[in-house]
Amino acid sequence: MNSKHFPSGGGEPTVVITQVTQAQWHATKDDRVVGRGDASSRPDGRIFLSIDSWHDAVFDQLAHAMLTDLATPLYTVVDETDVDLISSWERVGFTPRRREWEYLVRTDPRITGLDATPPPPGTTIVAGGNAEQGPLRALDQAIRLEVEATVGWQQMPAEVLPCPSGNTPLDLSKYVVAAQPDRYVGLVRVMVRRHWARIGLIAVRADQHRRGIARALLAHTLGALHHRGIDTASTEVNESNTAATALFEGIGARRASSNLELVLR
């Protein structure tokens, strides 16, 4: 373990910062833990930090110790309504990088207006759990290459994994797919837990954009959730993704919250 001592001022006992594991730091005072810091490595290689402390001075001391031990760039994600926490990260040098809106969308097709949204001619929707592994893997890899060539992985949610070709883990139960006779051209990934659902990704091959495929995928996905008794689904959209914003706001989705990603370079 690696410990650092920080005088707290005012004649009070010294705060001790200890790196208890490779990715965790504790702040102790009088042998009591008064703050914790964590560093987590995301699949794309970026390191995200979190600090839990009641006092600004302890936050700053934990941050100082972590930033000394870790190489930049470093990242963190904060609920945008938590202005005090944002101020704490900015105080130690972090700056805003991107904003992601959380949307809540009703699943009832009478509310979304998606009750009569068929896929375009020559395209069919394959329900969750019914896709074939080979074509889905080929679609997944094609979309990843398109992302890498355009916005890049650092603009994607952390769960969209930049895996090596042929090694992408796919859970077929989570995917609804748009299929054409010779290939898959679009997908929705949805996570369902009892009465809760989250849409993690909607993607369509670049040469199939503006044909209504994403809307048809969303219509099928939300309709299936509604049939299961789930009345609302959540999703996150990067504020710079105007197409996704228009898609969800066009079916009545409402912004519930926003997260701010900050970076220290």
Q: Is the pLDDT of residue 169 over 90?
A: no
Q: What is the pLDDT of residue 116?
A: 80
Q: Is the pLDDT of residue 228 over 80?
A: yes
Return the closest-CA partner of residue 35 out of 63, 54, 9: 54
Q: Is the pLDDT of residue 135 over 50?
A: yes
Gap between the terminal Cα atoms of the chain: 27
Same domain, 51 and 182: no
Average pLDDT over residues 10-35: 86
Same domain, 66 and 113: no
CA–CA separation, 143 and 246 (whole Å): 20
Q: What is the pLDDT of residue 159?
A: 46
Q: Using CA of residue 175, residue 150, residue 95, residue 103, what is the dihedral sign?
A: negative
Same domain, 106 and 54: no
Q: Quick check: 187 and 140 in contact, CB under 8 A?
A: yes
Percent of the chain exceeding pLDDT 70 equals 88
Q: What is the pLDDT of residue 158?
A: 46
227 within some domain: yes
Range of the domain at 135: 101-258
Confidence bin at 2 (pLDDT 50/70/90)? low
Q: Quick check: 182 and 212 in contact, CB under 8 A?
A: no
Q: What is the pLDDT of residue 11?
A: 47
Instruction: Give me the number of domains the chain comprises.
Output: 2
Same domain, 145 and 63: no
Same domain, 110 and 55: no
Q: What is the pLDDT of residue 167?
A: 57
Question: What is the pTM assigned to this prediction?
Answer: 0.79
Average pLDDT over residues 239-249: 92
CATH number at residue 187: 3.40.630.30
- The residue with tokens 């008794």 is 229
Same domain, 34 and 151: no
Average pLDDT over residues 202-219: 95
107 within some domain: yes
Confidence bin at 231 (pLDDT 50/70/90)? very high
Q: Is the pLDDT of residue 75 over 90?
A: yes
